[in-house]
Structure 1
Amino acid sequence: MTSAPSSVGTRARVASVLVGLLVAALPAAPVAASPGTGSAAAQAESAARHRPVPPHVVGDHTVPAYSYADAIRESVWVQTRADSDGDGVRDRVAVDLVRPREAAAAGVRVPVIMDASPYYLCCGRGNESELKTYDAAGVIAKAPLFYDNYFVPRGYAFLAVDLAGTARSTGCEDVGGPAEVGSATAVIDWLNGRARAFTADGRPVSAAWSTGQVGMIGKSWDGSVANGVAATGVPGLATIVPISAISSWYDYMRYQGVLRSTDYPGFLHSYVNGRDDDACADTLARLRADSAEETGDHNRFWAQRDYRPSADRVRASVFVAHGLNDLNVTTNQFAGWWQELADEGVPRKLWLYQAGHEDPFDVRRAEWVAALHRWFDYWLQGLRNGVMDEPRVDLETAAGVWTTQRDWPAPGTRDVRIALGGGDGVTGTLGGRGARPGQERAYVDESLTEAELVAEPSTATAGRLVFLSGALTTALRISGSPSVRLRIRVDRPTTELTARLVDYGTAERVQYGSSEGVRTLDTESCWGASTDADDACYRDTEEITEVSDHAVLTRGWLDAAHHRSLRLRTPLLPDRWYTVTVPLNAYDAVLPAGHVLGLMLGQSDPEFTETNDRDATVRVDLGRSELILPIAGRAGLPVIDDAPPVRTAPADPSAARTARDTRQVP
């Protein structure tokens, strides 16, 4: 684990942002400084104390002071620096915005909440798949989601941005790449006077109504864009709220060298493409050629789409939200980003919940809206409401059960190395005394489904190795990113290696499968003001729970030939032993006393990945292999010599075991 950074850097970033807010809030005309009046920060604070308080601010929070029905609605096109479609003209991205008319009339500049998305016309946003709609003049009439309804009356502008190559924008969508990120960055430049924008008929238009302070928000692909823009360090971006978002596109489409599915970049480009096919044919061809699908290697293409190494450039604060059981954008996406931000002292906050690929608006609605309100008021309006003095993490530990903690992973977490023992010859042990070098177990590749891999662990099943702890004598808290270190010998040049941690024990759990763990109800609730074209009411939701006898906690995959480096394959020699590490996705869970922790090892995994490297036999040297488990507190696994018998409902024998298209849309 990396130790927490000093709070000095965080305080400096916070102070810098707040001074910027104070300066941005001053009148547009310059204020002359008298000799000896002190620093720019002091002048800004003094001016702020004497300026009139706008009607949307009461104490330490904003209130709905402006009419949503009368708000200014505009559609403009911002010119970017790129010509991604190669037509000799810079790309222009469509920006549909809603802002308070009364504030504009009074000369009160407002900050911006922005959601840049590829989905506004092709696919929709939110649980109800809302699309943008326009009036007869082509001006925005309805923006998806509640952000404009709720925040515009409170003194914010809302911008819904069509990424390059999507909806009404020109250019070409390059799936997480420079054109996509640059198209959103250009909008922030325009809001700060560094880029040009035009109306539909070509007239230049400025953003003099804006303070220049921007907060980006969005779920999935939208939140991934926010991560990418933050990684550029663009001035004016004060905060981002990435929800279920990608921080490394390689890790989204490749699992440690294993393809998630074929033609993934091309599939996503085509899914959201808003241009004629011919306009972006070259971009599509480059996506397919440069992604190195034939090898699974990490290369320059993927480095451009990995935002984590640029965490040192992030100027914005970051409020992350992610489902612990998200099988679409897996949890390593938030965990890797979170750790890089922590190392750089970036001000940050985190929500983790039991659902899958969901927005917390559909998990814990009232509390989420309140949290966003306070976060944006602090970072965009400069209101000192104490949000940064609260615990950094909100965590759902079971369905509807929430707690807070100082940080994540849980403070006091340590990596514990747990030996793999031979057990009774069918089921191995976790934490056993019997593990010794030279004690081997072999398993063949049977392309098991997950249900087959984890069911009935005390029963011999070809294609897997099973290791069980003893029944826990006290509750066990796992918090962080586990991994499995294996000493292996393989009779093929490579094979896919998979690992899963399983909680064996009866409990009521969120069922996060195809439903993502959330059910849509017939009732609805309203969050903001409405018009005839754009209402603020959304159908209520609830978590789906079920009593089950076991649950998969986390999963991991590795192409064995990428065990040395993701940049280059190293084929395995059949007569040689290799040490490889299979990283598992980040997780946070409490296993109650009496439950049993299981580690399941398999090979090809047709439900989650796609590989042509099958039919291998893997031999594992148990005495030189181990599970590395991030454990919070003093509790550990009981030391045992023989695996306890564990019974579960058998796997459905009709489950398909053939490869399928595993591509999803982020």
Structure 2
Amino acid sequence: MKRQTTPHLRFELSHFVATLVAALGFNALALTEGAVAAEPAVPVFKDGEAQIVRAFQDPDFWIREDLWVETEFDSDGDNKLDRMHVSVTRPRQTESEGLKLPVVYVSSPYFAGTGINGQEYFWDPRHELGDTPPERKHFPAVKLKGMRPIISKSHTKDWVPRGYVVVHSSSPGTGLSQGCPTVGGDNESLAPKAVIDWLCGRGKGFKTPDGDQRVVADWCTGKVGMTGTSYNGTIPLAAATTGVEGLEAIIPVAPNTSYYHYYRSNGLIRHPYGYMGEDIDFLYDFIHSGNEPRRKYCDCNVRDLEMAKGFDRENGDYNDFWAGRDYLNDIEPLRAAVLMAHAFNDWNVVPEHSVRIYEAVKAKKVPAQVFFHQGGHGGPPPMKMMNRWFTRYLHGVENDVEKDPRAWIVREQDARDKPTPYADYPNPDASPVTFYLSSGAPQRGQLTTVPAENQGTETLVDNFSFSGASLAKAEWTNHRLIYVTPTLTQPLHLSGTPSISIKLSSNKPAANLSVWLVSLPWADGNRAKITDNIITRGWADPQNYRSIRESEPLEPGKFYEMKFDLQPDDQVIAKGQQIGLMIFSSDRDFTLHPNPGTELTIDLDATSFSLPIVGGKSQFAKAIAESKDDE
């Protein structure tokens, strides 16, 4: 029988050969075609950016190893401190020449495999508001995947050739990491902290998950940066909120900064776009790829006890469970320079997630920039931006990145790597303009900057079977109320967070409330996308008109006043369009689906809408000048 060499043994042999060649005085890189022997095996910088170094470029000469880092917590109940599985990819010169380099670190719950993302395992959204939902079916245990010593190859081609070590780790309860997944619990902040402590010489690393043979990161300069997208972008922020020394910079891309803001909205149960019925306990099942001995303990104590008691799928109120999974509440210790990235049309992790953290970081006087584009979920900043960020804060090169414009926004027709710089976000030249409603139901009313009097009320009838897009396009329907501006005679730049102040009544004790800001006429055709016409959206529970922490049944026929924000945006509305404010009840893509028939009545005179416009009210007046609709 032919003897098979294990992947780990193959790594040991290749590592030995590379070290031996270096010890004999040969330049191993010269064995590769086109190598330049005279090029120094050290990081190289030009125009404030780390350059690709040929001596670091060939993956065949990278050292790959894995280990386990001990944390300060025991989240799986075995009376032992949990250890996180970590992999390292570094240039061979960190071994053969004693070269020390900074680290780009990525952590994730996804590296070792995920569960079945099927509708049958989501919560059923089809029930009356406030009712106890039917039980959710749990899918089978996640099948572990991956091969040691490589946890992931992500980011290695970008950063190792530029003079960085790339480190990956699986988050608690996933892959070969011990512990339980908590979906935003404290251990998901302390786990990457432990890895950074190890990288900086303070923590303990071991060759095996249960052994005592130590591993040290003597190739690390003590400077660490983190990045990642979505959940992988949440973890850098989680680590930064611990204030861990050595974490110098983070680049979170579309991070989930609050699980309440991901699964709820102003007291309302709201699902991420494309995942109707998903809630935090589903995400726990989806990522729980840890091995069997700890699974029962984690399921019983985290999912079926802590989560079941805390996430409240009946009322949607904010509580201590959600507060403990909101990183804005833990922002005080943060010291790492922050480059946020998000998309204004991300309806999975909505843009407020990054805006709220960006504003808090600026208030702390911590270096911060933000990159926004007009696409959907994900999308990192251009490589040049990230390179300058890490070059400044990890390599210590004085490239004046902190003096660059704070905000970089990809304009509507521009390429993703061609953002337009602005002094800040929101645009400093933007100011809120108040709009008032003028009656028109069941057709379209008007949206004006001058309040009308004695408008009375207008009523809509809830029916989740109609999509928001179909309601916006409809010329005549009683399932929504819509109010439009005159046609724009020149483009209008919006920048910031719109808000609505609304006075309404319901004929039932509970109701969904959804608000869209749209651009009309609707773009139809094969190349049109729904996002072409949706400027922004917002949702709220009228039962939470006092507070998102406390809801109370509505008294049918009684009017209640509430104010809430829509999602932040920065968009130029084209000439020839009208801006429309649409108010309706159940949003079939986001909210629960109660039986149709709930009536919401809006007091027009007591309802207004604030829209941040670059140039303010005078610019809006110019944008509708000579409009036929204004005559």
| TM bracket, shorter-chain basis | 0.7 to 0.9
Instruction: Select which of 174, 188, 196 maps to 1:188.
Output: 196
CA drift at 1:609: 1.9
Q: Report the more deviating stretch, 271-280 or 171-180.
A: 271-280
Cα 1:246–1:386 shift into 2, 3 Å: same
Output the amino acid matched with 2:407.
Answer: V
Instruction: Select which of 481, 499, 519 maps to 1:483.
Output: 499
Output the amino acid matched with 1:399.
Answer: Q
Instruction: Select which of 304, 311, 316 maps to 2:336.
Output: 316
Match of 1:115 in 2: 106
Instruction: Select which of 284, 308, 321 maps to 2:303.
Output: 284
TM-score using structure 2 length? 0.80
Q: Report the more deviating stretch, 494-503 or 268-277.
A: 268-277
Instruction: Classify the secondary structure of the residue corresponding to 1:397.
Output: coil
Match of 2:438 in 1: 421
Match of 1:83 in 2: 74
1:636 corresponds to 2:627: no
1:339 corresponds to 2:339: no
Match of 2:181 in 1: 173
Distance in 2, matches of 1:639 and 1:612, equals 40
Are 1:165 and 1:171, in contact at CA under 8 Å, matched by a contact in 2?
Answer: yes
Are 2:488 and 2:576, in contact at CA under 8 Å, matched by a contact in 1?
Answer: yes
User: What is the CA deviation profile of residues 455-477 of structure 1, one whole-angstrom value per residue up to 9, with x for unaligned ones?
Assistant: 13xx2202100101001133211
1:407 corresponds to 2:424: yes
1:566 corresponds to 2:574: no
Aligned length: 539
Counterparts of 1:193-204 in structure 2, within 5 Å, are 193-200=201-208, 202-204=212-214
Match of 2:283 in 1: 268
Are 1:432 and 1:639, in contact at CA under 8 Å, matched by a contact in 2?
Answer: no
User: What is the CA deviation profile of residues 373-421 of structure 1, one whole-angstrom value per residue up to 9, with x for unaligned ones?
Assistant: 2211111000112322222222112132542111111111111111111
User: What is the CA deviation profile of residues 308-364 of structure 1, one whole-angstrom value per residue up to 9, with x for unaligned ones?
Assistant: 133332100111111111111111111111111122222112111111013237xxx
Counterparts of 1:373-522 in structure 2, within 5 Å, are 373-400=387-414, 402-423=419-440, 426-431=443-448, 433=450, 435-437=452-454, 439-447=456-464, 448-456=466-474, 459-505=475-521
Distance in 2, matches of 1:506 and 1:625, equals 25
Distance in 2, matches of 1:311 and 1:437, equals 47
Distance in 1, matches of 2:61 and 2:192, equals 27
Instruction: Select which of 252, 255, 258 maps to 1:248.
Output: 258
User: What is the CA deviation profile of residues 209-229 of structure 1, one whole-angstrom value per residue up to 9, with x for unaligned ones?
Assistant: 212211110000010111121
Output the amino acid matched with 1:168.
Answer: L
Match of 1:328 in 2: 348
Q: Report the more deviating stretch, 156-165 or 64-73.
A: 64-73
Match of 1:207 in 2: 217
Distance in 2, matches of 1:257 and 1:96, equals 41
Are 1:495 and 1:613, in contact at CA under 8 Å, matched by a contact in 2?
Answer: no
Are 1:258 and 1:611, in contact at CA under 8 Å, matched by a contact in 2?
Answer: no
Output the amino acid matched with 2:392.
Answer: Y
Distance in 2, matches of 1:425 and 1:306, equals 41
Q: Report the more deviating stretch, 376-385 or 579-588.
A: 579-588
Distance in 2, matches of 1:199 and 1:178, equals 25
Distance in 1, matches of 2:388 and 2:319, equals 41
Instruction: Classify the secondary structure of the residue corresponding to 1:467.
Output: strand
Output the amino acid matched with 1:70.
Answer: F
Task: Quote the RMSD (CA, aligned, Å).
Answer: 2.7
**Identical positions, percent:** 32
Match of 2:578 in 1: 596
Instruction: Classify the secondary structure of the residue corresponding to 1:313.
Output: coil
Counterparts of 1:153-164 in structure 2, within 5 Å, are 153-164=161-172
Which sections of structure 1, spanning at least 5 residues, go unmatched?
Answer: 1-52, 125-130, 362-367, 512-544, 646-666
User: What is the CA deviation profile of residues 408-443 of structure 1, one whole-angstrom value per residue up to 9, with x for unaligned ones?
Assistant: 111111111111111476321101646225621111
Output the amino acid matched with 1:230.
Answer: A
1:62 corresponds to 2:16: no
Match of 1:618 in 2: 600
Output the amino acid matched with 2:354.
Answer: F
Are 2:102 and 2:220, in contact at CA under 8 Å, matched by a contact in 1?
Answer: yes
Instruction: Classify the secondary structure of the residue corresponding to 2:105.
Output: strand
Distance in 2, matches of 1:96 and 1:174, equals 22
Q: Report the more deviating stretch, 614-623 or 58-67.
A: 58-67
Distance in 2, matches of 1:241 and 1:424, equals 47
